[in-house]
C-alpha cells in the first residue's frame, strides 16, 4: 500500500498546473442539428480564456480541432470543434496547455444534449430523375419531411437498398423551415443479380421510422447497340499525358438500355453522349476515365447493357489497354548555387534584396518563400526564372525581398529545387504583436454584392493584407485603404458572393511581419469584453425576416417547353419566382446542350458562362433570355439556375416540379460531335536533314460532317523550344475540301542555322460552328487525335549542322518611361513601358522569342507579367529592340 501511494505522489510531482489561467466564457454553437445513434458530429464552441502566459486548448477527449482566433492582451478566443459521442447528455472537459507543457483541466465545463431525429412523416415526394454530368449513373429524388425542427447531420438519417445499388441521403441546406432531403441512387460494379423494382428505404439512425420508395428507373431492353469501336487500340501502351480516357463509339436505334463501360471503376459509368442522328438511328460516344490508382497496369475495357433484369456484355473483355501515369519531373537538387544580397537604400535601413541562382536541367517553377513567421509556395510557369542556357541545361534565378520587419534570424527560401539558407536581415525591427480589428461593418448593395468595411490597426509594422474567404477576389490590401494609414486605418471592399458558403465575412489579417489574426469562423468575436461580433451578411437577415423559401417556386415556366432545333437555333425565355423573393436578386442560368459541353474547362464559371437575367417589374417575375443552338440531340436539355444564395440544377427542380420544368428539344439530324482528325501525317517526314531554310509540320484532315469546322488552334513546341508556335486555321485556310472535310497544312519555318531538336504538336483544340470542341491532350474530353494516339507521326526530328553558338543573347540596354508611379489615384495613368535592346553576335536574336517582363510585390508574390513586342531588328539580325507595357493595378504593392 505504501509503495502504491508513493508512486502516485511521485507522478503528481511531474504534473504542473497553469495557476493563472481561467476560462472566462464559453459561447455555444450558433447552429444545431440532429445527430445519430452514434452521437453528434462536430460543434463549434468559442472559448474565451484569460491567462498571463499564452495557452492553447488541447485537442484531447473529444476536442477534434482548435484554432486561436483572437488575442487581446491576456485574453484569447479559441474556436473549439468538439464531437459528442453520446445520445442525450454529454459532459465535456477542456484542457489548457502552455508552451512548457503545463496543463490545467476544467472538468465537465460544457454540457451538450445530442438529440436524434424525432418522428417524421413524408411531406413532399419528388420523382426519380437521372442526373446529368456525373461520371457514374446516378438518380436524384427530393423529399421533404414534417416533424423536424432543425437540420440533420449527415448520419442522422440513413438510406439502404439491395446490392448492387447504393444510396445516400443528405439534408439540402436551407435557412427556412422546409426540410428537404436529397436521395442519391447509384449502381455499383458488384457482381450481384438483381431485378427491378427495388425498394429504397429511408430510416433514422436506429433503423426505425422507415419510409419506402420504389425505384424502377432502368429501361427494360432489349439492346439495339451495334458497330462498337474502341480507342486506343487493344494491347497498346498509352500515356495519360496525351489521352486519359478510353473512347467508345457505337450505333443504336431507339436505345432502350443503359450502356456502361466497365474498366475497373467501382460504379457503373454514365458517360454516354449521343453525338449524331436522331433516336431512331443515332451514333453515341462514350468514355471512361483511367483509374489512376493502378497506373501502368493492363486494364480490360468492355461495353455493357444495363436493363431491369440484369447486365449483358456487348463487347469482348479482351480489349486490353495499359495507361501509364503522367511523366514526373525528376526532383534533383539544382547545382552550382550562388546567392547575393543588396541593401535597398531607397527604402531606408533594414531592406534587402537577395538574388538566388542555381543550375538545373529540369524546370520546376515553384518558389517557396519564407517571410518572418509566414511561408508559402508560389507556382510559376515557364519562362519565369530561366536565365542563361537552354531548356535542357540552364540557370534558374529567383529574388527574395526581405523587408524591414523580416526575421533577424537566418532563414531560407527555395528557388526551383534548391533551398538557399542563411538569408538574414540584422536590421529588422522586432514585431511579435498580431494586428487588431476593432470593428467590421457590412452593407448590402444587392443580393450578391456587399461592401465590407474593416477598422484595423497594427502599431509596429502595419497592416499588409486581409485574406477574405468565399468571395470572388480573396485579397484586401492597402489599395483598399479609404481612411488613415496602414498603422490605423479603415478599409473598404466590395465582395461578390454568388453562393454564400458562410454567413458572415471570414478573413485572416496579416501585418507586414506576417503576424496573423484569424477571424475565420461565422460571426467571429471582435471584442472579448463587449462580445462584439462580425455581423452576418444582410441577405440572411432578409431571408429570415421575409421567410424566403429556398426551394418553393411560385411560378416556373419556359416560353417554349418543346423546341425544334433541326435546322436553326431558337430563342427562348425562362420565367420564374420563389416565395417572398426580392427584385434585387440577380437570376443567372447555364444551359448545357451536351455532356461534352459540360466537360469543357471552365464551363461552370458563373460570371463567365452563366446568362444574367432581370427582374420584370410588370410581370413580377425573374426572366432569363437564352438561345439554344441548332442540332442538339433529341431529349432534355440540362440547366442550372443561380439566384444567390441559392443554386438549383434542373434535376433538382424536375424531381419536385415535374414536366413543367423540363426543356425538351427535337432534332431530325443532330450533331454534337466535335471536329476530329481523320488523317494525320508529318511533313515532309518524321526525320528532316536541314541544309537550307525550309518548313516542317503536319498535314491534317479535319472532319465535321454536319455542323462543319469553325476553327482549330495548334501549339507546336520542341524539346529545346517551349515557346509555342501558335497556328490558327479556319475553313478558308484549307488547301482542299471544305468546312465539313478539309485538308490543312500546319507549317513552321526552320532556318539553316538551326539546332537539332524534336518538334511535336503539344496541344490542339478543334471547334465546330455550334461550339462543340475536341482537345489534344484530353482528360474527360473527346480527343482530337483519338484515331492516331499510337501513330508514329507525332514527332519530327530535325537534324542540323553542329552549331558553334553556345552563348545566349545579352541585354545591352533597359529603360523605363517613368521611375515613379502614383498607384493611389484612380484616374491616374499607372502604365509603365519598358524598352530594351538585346544583342547576339553569333546566330542573331530570334524575333519570335520575345522576352517576358515580370513585376512582383515584395511580400505576397503578386506577379504582373507581359510578353514584349518586337519593335525593330537590325539589318544583320544581331540586335533587336523590344517594348513591353504593364499597367499597375490601383494600389499595387502599396505600403509593402
Is it the case that residue 565 has pLDDT exceeding 90?
yes
Percent of the chain with pLDDT over 90: 58
pLDDT at 15: 43
What is the number of other CB atoms lying within 10 angstroms of the CB of residue 530? 8
Burial string for 224-242 (b: 16+ CB within 10 Å, else e) reads ebeebebbbeeeeebebeb
pLDDT at 2: 34
pLDDT at 569: 92
- Average pLDDT of the segment spanning 306-327: 91
- Of 405-419, 581-595, 650-664, 746-760, the one with minimum mean pLDDT is 405-419
pLDDT at 414: 83
Q: What angle do CA 637, 639, 641 make, to 5 degrees?
A: 155
HEC string of 282-315 equals EEEEEEEECCCCCCCCEEECEEEEEECCEEEECC
Is it the case that residue 792 has pLDDT exceeding 90?
yes
406 contacts 372 by C-beta, under 8 angstroms: yes
Handedness of CA 232, 235, 241, 245 (dihedral sign): positive
pLDDT at 774: 95
- Average pLDDT of the segment spanning 595-619: 79
Q: What is the CATH number of domain 436-540?
A: 2.60.40
Q: What angle do CA 732, 738, 742 make, to 5 degrees?
A: 90
Cell of 775: 482537345
The label of the residue with cell 428505404 reads 201
What gap in Å lies between CA 838 and CA 840, rounded to an integer?
7
Which residue from 497, 499, 452, 506 is spatially nearest to 471, judged by alpha carbons? Answer: 497
Is it the case that residue 823 has pLDDT exceeding 90?
no
The label of the residue with cell 511535336 reads 760
What's the pLDDT band for 10 if we cut at 50, 70, 90?
A: very low
- The alpha-helical segments, DSSP class H, found in 114-156 are none
What gap in Å lies between CA 797 and CA 757, rounded to an integer?
6
- Average pLDDT of the segment spanning 234-249: 94
Please give the DSSP secondary-structure letter assigned to residue 850: P
Cell of 637: 436539355
Question: Each residue of 57-75: pLDDT tens digit?
Answer: 999 989 999 988 888 888 9
pLDDT at 295: 59
Question: Each residue of 164-184: pLDDT tens digit?
Answer: 999 999 998 765 556 889 999
How high does pLDDT run on average in the chain? 88
DSSP lists the bridge partners of residue 853 as 866
- Of 275-289, 459-473, 659-673, 770-784, the one with minimum mean pLDDT is 459-473
pLDDT at 500: 64
pLDDT at 11: 34
Q: Looking at the chain, how many residues does it have?
A: 896
Which helix (H) or strand (E) segment holds residue 181: the answer is strand 179-187
- Average pLDDT of the segment spanning 199-204: 98
Which residue from 215, 218, 197 is spatially nearest to 312, judged by alpha carbons? Answer: 218
pLDDT at 123: 93
Assign domain 121-215 one CATH number from 3.40.1350, 3.30.43, 2.60.40, 2.60.220: 2.60.40
- Average pLDDT of the segment spanning 688-708: 96
- Average pLDDT of the segment spanning 706-724: 95
Is it the case that residue 12 has pLDDT exceeding 50?
no
What gap in Å lies between CA 760 and CA 682, rounded to an integer?
9
What gap in Å lies between CA 92 and CA 207, rounded to an integer?
28
The label of the residue with cell 501585418 reads 511
- Average pLDDT of the segment spanning 229-245: 94
- Of 79-93, 238-252, 826-840, the one with minimum mean pLDDT is 826-840
DSSP lists the bridge partners of residue 369 as 376
pLDDT at 5: 36
Higher pLDDT, 601 or 100: 100
CATH 3.40.605.10 fits 553-670, yes or no: no
Residue 152 backbone phi and psi in degrees, to 5: -125, 140
What gap in Å lies between CA 766 and CA 774, rounded to an integer?
5
174 contacts 550 by C-beta, under 8 angstroms: yes
Q: What is the dihedral of CA 699, 701, 702, 703, to 10 degrees?
A: 180
Which residue from 725, 733, 826, 735 is spatially nearest to 482, judged by alpha carbons? Answer: 826
Quick one: fold of 676-799? Immunoglobulin-like (2.60.40)
240 contacts 257 by C-beta, under 8 angstroms: no
Is it the case that residue 472 has pLDDT exceeding 90?
no
Distances (CA, A) of 544 to 177, 534, 538, 541, 832: 10, 18, 10, 5, 50
Distances (CA, A) of 706 to 363, 544, 588, 710, 740: 44, 52, 31, 12, 7
Assign domain 225-324 one CATH number from 2.60.40, 1.10.1760, 3.40.50, 3.30.9: 2.60.40
Handedness of CA 324, 325, 327, 331 (dihedral sign): negative
Domains of the chain by residue range: 14-114, 121-215, 225-324, 337-423, 436-540, 553-670, 676-799, 810-887
pLDDT at 667: 94
Q: What is the CATH number of domain 14-114?
A: 2.60.40
- Average pLDDT of the segment spanning 200-214: 97
Burial (0-12, 13-18, 19+ Cβ within 10 Å), 802: exposed
Which residue from 322, 309, 398, 324 is spatially nearest to 360, judged by alpha carbons? Answer: 398
Question: Each residue of 808-817: pLDDT tens digit?
Answer: 899 999 999 9
- Of 9-18, 97-106, 468-477, 878-887, the one with minimum mean pLDDT is 9-18
What's the pLDDT band for 597 if we cut at 50, 70, 90?
A: confident
Percent of the chain with pLDDT over 70: 92
Is it the case that residue 644 has pLDDT exceeding 90?
no
Please give the DSSP secondary-structure letter assigned to residue 536: P
What's the pLDDT band for 673 if we cut at 50, 70, 90?
A: very high
Cell of 626: 437564352
pLDDT at 332: 77
* Beta strand spans in 193-309 (E): 198-204, 211-215, 225-231, 236-239, 245-252, 258-262, 272-278, 281-289, 298-300, 302-307
650 contacts 659 by C-beta, under 8 angstroms: no
- Of 93-102, 138-147, 541-550, the one with minimum mean pLDDT is 541-550
What gap in Å lies between CA 71 and CA 837, rounded to an integer?
54
What gap in Å lies between CA 355 and CA 241, rounded to an integer?
34
Amino acid at each position: 500500500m505504501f509503495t502504491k501511494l508513493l508512486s502516485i505522489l511521485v507522478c503528481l510531482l511531474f504534473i504542473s498546473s497553469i495557476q493563472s489561467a481561467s476560462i472566462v466564457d464559453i459561447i455555444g454553437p450558433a447552429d444545431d442539428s440532429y445527430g445519430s445513434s452514434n452521437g453528434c458530429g462536430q460543434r463549434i464552441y468559442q472559448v474565451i480564456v484569460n491567462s498571463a502566459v499564452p495557452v492553447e486548448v488541447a485537442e484531447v477527449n473529444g476536442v477534434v480541432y482548435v484554432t486561436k482566433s483572437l488575442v487581446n492582451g491576456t485574453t484569447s478566443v479559441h474556436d473549439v470543434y468538439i464531437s459528442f459521442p453520446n445520445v442525450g447528455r454529454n459532459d465535456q472537459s477542456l484542457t489548457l496547455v502552455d508552451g512548457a507543457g503545463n496543463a490545467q483541466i476544467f472538468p465537465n465545463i460544457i454540457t451538450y444534449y445530442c438529440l436524434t431525429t424525432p418522428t417524421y412523416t413524408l411531406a413532399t415526394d419528388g420523382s426519380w430523375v437521372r442526373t446529368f454530368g456525373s461520371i457514374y449513373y446516378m438518380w436524384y429524388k427530393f423529399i421533404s419531411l414534417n416533424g423536424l425542427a432543425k437540420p440533420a447531420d449527415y448520419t442522422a438519417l440513413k438510406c439502404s437498398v439491395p446490392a448492387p445499388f447504393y444510396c445516400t441521403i443528405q439534408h439540402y441546406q436551407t435557412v427556412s423551415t422546409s426540410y428537404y432531403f436529397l436521395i442519391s441512387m447509384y449502381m455499383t460494379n458488384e457482381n450481384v443479380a438483381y431485378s427491378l423494382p427495388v425498394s429504397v428505404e429511408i430510416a433514422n439512425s436506429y433503423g426505425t421510422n422507415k419510409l419506402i420508395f420504389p425505384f424502377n428507373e432502368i429501361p427494360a431492353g432489349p439492346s439495339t447497340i451495334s458497330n462498337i469501336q474502341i480507342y486506343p487500340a487493344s494491347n497498346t501502351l498509352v500515356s495519360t499525358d496525351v489521352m486519359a480516357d478510353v473512347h467508345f463509339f457505337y450505333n443504336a436505334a431507339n436505345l432502350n438500355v443503359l450502356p456502361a463501360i466497365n474498366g475497373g471503376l467501382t460504379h457503373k459509368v454514365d458517360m454516354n453522349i449521343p453525338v449524331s442522328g436522331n433516336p431512331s438511328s443515332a451514333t453515341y460516344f462514350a468514355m471512361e476515365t483511367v483509374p489512376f490508382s493502378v497506373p501502368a497496369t493492363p486494364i480490360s475495357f468492355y461495353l455493357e447493357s444495363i436493363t431491369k433484369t440484369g447486365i449483358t456484355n456487348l463487347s469482348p473483355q479482351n480489349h486490353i489497354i495499359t495507361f501509364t501515369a503522367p511523366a514526373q519531373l525528376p526532383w534533383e537538387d539544382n547545382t552550382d548555387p550562388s546567392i547575393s544580397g543588396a541593401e535597398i537604400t531607397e527604402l531606408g535601413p533594414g531592406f534587402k534584396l537577395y538574388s538566388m541562382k542555381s543550375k538545373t536541367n529540369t524546370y520546376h517553377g515553384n518558389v517557396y518563400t519564407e517571410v518572418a513567421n509566414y511561408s508559402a509556395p508560389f507556382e510559376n510557369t515557364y519562362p519565369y526564372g530561366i536565365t542563361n542556357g537552354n531548356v535542357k541545361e540552364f540557370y534558374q534565378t529567383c529574388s527574395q525581398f526581405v523587408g524591414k520587419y523580416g526575421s533577424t534570424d537566418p532563414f531560407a527560401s527555395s528557388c526551383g529545387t534548391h533551398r538557399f539558407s542563411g538569408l538574414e536581415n540584422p536590421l529588422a525591427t522586432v514585431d511579435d504583436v498580431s494586428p487588431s480589428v476593432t470593428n467590421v461593418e457590412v452593407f448590402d448593395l444587392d443580393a450578391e454584392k456587399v461592401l465590407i468595411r474593416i477598422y484595423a490597426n497594427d502599431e509596429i509594422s502595419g497592416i499588409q493584407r486581409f485574406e477574405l474567404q468565399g468571395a470572388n477576389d480573396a485579397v484586401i490590401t492597402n489599395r483598399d485603404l479609404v481612411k488613415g494609414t496602414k498603422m490605423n486605418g479603415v478599409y473598404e471592399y466590395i465582395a461578390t458572393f454568388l453562393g454564400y458558403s458562410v454567413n458572415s465575412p471570414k478573413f485572416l489579417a496579416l501585418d507586414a511581419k506576417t503576424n496573423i489574426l484569424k477571424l475565420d469562423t461565422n460571426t467571429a468575436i471582435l471584442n472579448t469584453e463587449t462580445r462584439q461580433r462580425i455581423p452576418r451578411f444582410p441577405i440572411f437577415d432578409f431571408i429570415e425576416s421575409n421567410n424566403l423559401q429556398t426551394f418553393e417556386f411560385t411560378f416556373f415556366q419556359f416560353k417554349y417547353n418543346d423546341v425544334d432545333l433541326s435546322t436553326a437555333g431558337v430563342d427562348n425565355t425562362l420565367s420564374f419566382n420563389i416565395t417572398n423573393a426580392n427584385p434585387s436578386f440577380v437570376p443567372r442560368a447555364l444551359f448545357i446542350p451536351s455532356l461534352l459541353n459540360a466537360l469543357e474547362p471552365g464551363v461552370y464559371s458563373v460570371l463567365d458562362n452563366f446568362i444574367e437575367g432581370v427582374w420584370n417589374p410588370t410581370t413580377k417575375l425573374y426572366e432569363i433570355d437564352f438561345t439554344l443552338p441548332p442540332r442538339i440531340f433529341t431529349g432534355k436539355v440540362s440547366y442550372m439556375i443561380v439566384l444567390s444564395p441559392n443554386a438549383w440544377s434542373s434535376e433538382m427542380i424536375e424531381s419536385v416540379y415535374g414536366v413543367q420544368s423540363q426543356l425538351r428539344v427535337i432534332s431530325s439530324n443532330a450533331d454534337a460531335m466535335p471536329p476530329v482528325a481523320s488523317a494525320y501525317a508529318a511533313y515532309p517526314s518524321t526525320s528532316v536533314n536541314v541544309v537550307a531554310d525550309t518548313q516542317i509540320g503536319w498535314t491534317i484532315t479535319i472532319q465535321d460532317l454536319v455542323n462543319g469546322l469553325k476553327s482549330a488552334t495548334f501549339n507546336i513546341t520542341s524539346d529545346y523550344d517551349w515557346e509555342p508556335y501558335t497556328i490558327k486555321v479556319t475553313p478558308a485556310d484549307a488547301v482542299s475540301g471544305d468546312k465539313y472535310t478539309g485538308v490543312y497544312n500546319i507549317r513552321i519555318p526552320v532556318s539553316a542555322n538551326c539546332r537539332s531538336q524534336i518538334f511535336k504538336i503539344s496541344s490542339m483544340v478543334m471547334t465546330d460552328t455550334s461550339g462543340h470542341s475536341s482537345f489534344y491532350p484530353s482528360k474527360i474530353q473527346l480527343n482530337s487525335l483519338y484515331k492516331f494516339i499510337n501513330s508514329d507521326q507525332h514527332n519530327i526530328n530535325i537534324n542540323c549542322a553542329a552549331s558553334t553558338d553556345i552563348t545566349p543573347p545579352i541585354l545591352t540596354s533597359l529603360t523605363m518611361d517613368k521611375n515613379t508611379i502614383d498607384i493611389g489615384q484612380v484616374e491616374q495613368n499607372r502604365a509603365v513601358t519598358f524598352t530594351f535592346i538585346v544583342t547576339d553576335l553569333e546566330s542573331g536574336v530570334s524575333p519570335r522569342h520575345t522576352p517576358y517582363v515580370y513585376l512582383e510585390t515584395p511580400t505576397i508574390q503578386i506577379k504582373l507579367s507581359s510578353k514584349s513586342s518586337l519593335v525593330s531588328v537590325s539589318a544583320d539580325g544581331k540586335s533587336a529592340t523590344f517594348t513591353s507595357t504593364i499597367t499597375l493595378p490601383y494600389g499595387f504593392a502599396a505600403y509593402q
